[in-house]
Each structure stands twice: as C-alpha cells, then as structure tokens.
C-alpha cells in the first residue's frame, strides 16, 4: 500500500490545498493530510479547528484522512508507515524551498520520497495568508476556499 503524507499548517485549507489532495488521492492508496504545529506562526484557527475543517472538506474522498503532528515530519511519516511526502508547488520560489526540505528529509530518512504536485493553474497565486487577509477585510472568499471553510472564516472574523 502506498501511503502518502501531505503536511502543512492549512490556516485555512484552500481550494489549492484541496486540489493537491484530490490529485494525490488519484495516485496513492491513502493520503493523510496532517496539520503541523508550527511554533513560528500565529495561526488564526486552532489545530483541532483546522483538522475538523479539513475533515469536512475531504469527506467525499474515501482514501484521504486528516491528522495532526508536532516534531519532525520524517518521524511522523515513519510512525504512519508512509514512504511518500507530498508537497504542493505553485511557483519556482516554492520549489527552491521545498527542494531543500525534500533533500533534508531524504538525508534524515532515505527511504522517504518527496513528491511535488502542482495545483490547477487557477490556484497558482492562492495562499492561506491571502485568503485570511481577504476574509479579515470583509471580502468574498467563495472562489478560494471550500464552502465549509468560508463559513468558518466568516464566523472567526465576525467575532
């Protein structure tokens, strides 16, 4: 069984993220979307909120599930008996960073392979930080996030 890990902070989960998950689910037997705790970021949503939002967004994908982790990604990947790490790459600047991380992960665990997937061209400009800013300023996030995520963003910023 080819099990793949798709890690990220997903704050919030966007249509670009969903596109990558759908592509990965067509390639691998199982995809685990894992929400990473990143101490260098100040997330809008808690880890448990992000896990639940993603779970709702992928409910129609039977071979995808959501989890969270803290610590080294390669150690989490080993615990899940996975051999693939999926990374979404929108632009060449993403690739430079992701390439470096992929090589470091290979150095730490040579049996783990990083696979780069490109989202649909409609999402190459899309990022979670842009979506947060649009939502914070009262803009319409409909084209950028799954419907359930739009609801969570609206609730968060109307508090």
Q: Which residue has the tokens 């803009």?
A: 139
In this prediction, residue 42 carries a pLDDT of 87
How many whole angstroms separate alpha carbon 126 and alpha carbon 141? 11
Residue 41 annotated in active site? yes
Q: Determine the angle formed by the axes of helices 128-136 and 147-157, rounding to 10 degrees.
A: 50
pLDDT of residue 20: 97
Alpha-helical (H) ranges within 28-146 are 47-57, 73-79, 92-108, 128-136
Q: Is 37 a catalytic residue?
A: no
Contact indicator for 43, 153 with CB cutoff of 8 Å: no
In this structure, are residues 82 and 49 in contact, taking their beta carbons and an 8 Å threshold?
no
Identify the active-site residue in 3, 55, 78, 90. 90
Q: Does 158 qualify as catalytic in the annotation?
A: no
| CATH topology assigned to domain 3-124 | Rossmann fold (3.40.50)
pTM flag (> 0.75): yes
Q: What is the pLDDT of residue 101?
A: 87
* Catalytic residue chosen out of the listed positions 17, 50, 132, 150: 17
Active-site residue (options: 41, 79, 122, 154): 41
The residues spanned by each domain of the chain are 3-124
pLDDT value of residue 41:
75
Predicted confidence at residue 99, as pLDDT, reads 84
Sheet holding 3-8, edge to edge: 64-69, 30-36, 3-8, 84-88, 113-117
Give the confidence band of 124 by pLDDT, cuts at 50, 70, 90.
confident
Active site residue 128: yes
Alpha carbon 39 to its chain centroid, in Å, reads 17
Tens of pLDDT along 61-118? 999 999 999 999 999 999 999 999 999 988 777 787 888 888 898 998 999 999 999 9
Instruction: Dump pLDDT digits (tens) for 22-72.
Output: 999 999 999 999 999 877 778 999 999 999 999 999 999 999 999 999 999
- Least Cα distance to 13 among 40, 38, 41, 34 occurs for 34
Q: Which of 57, 128, 132, 150 is catalytic?
A: 128
């Amino acid at each position: 069984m080819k099990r793949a890990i798709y890690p990220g902070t997903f704050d919030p989960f966007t249509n670009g993220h969903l596109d990558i998950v759908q592509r990965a689910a067509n390639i691998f037997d199982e995809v685990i979307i894992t929400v990473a705790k990143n101490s260098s970021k100040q997330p809008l949503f808690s880890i448990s909120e992000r896990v639940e939002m993603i779970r709702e967004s992928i409910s129609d994908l039977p071979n995808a599930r959501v989890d969270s982790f803290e610590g080294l990604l390669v150690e989490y990947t080993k615990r899940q008996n996975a051999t693939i790490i999926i990374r979404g790459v929108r632009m060449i600047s993403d690739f430079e960073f992701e390439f470096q991380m992929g090589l470091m992960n290979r150095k730490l665990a040579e049996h783990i392979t990083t696979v780069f997937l490109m989202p649909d061209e409609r999402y190459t400009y899309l990022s979670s930080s842009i979506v947060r800013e649009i939502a914070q300023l009262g803009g319409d996030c409909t084209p950028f996030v799954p419907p359930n995520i739009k609801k969570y963003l609206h609730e968060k910023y109307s508090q």
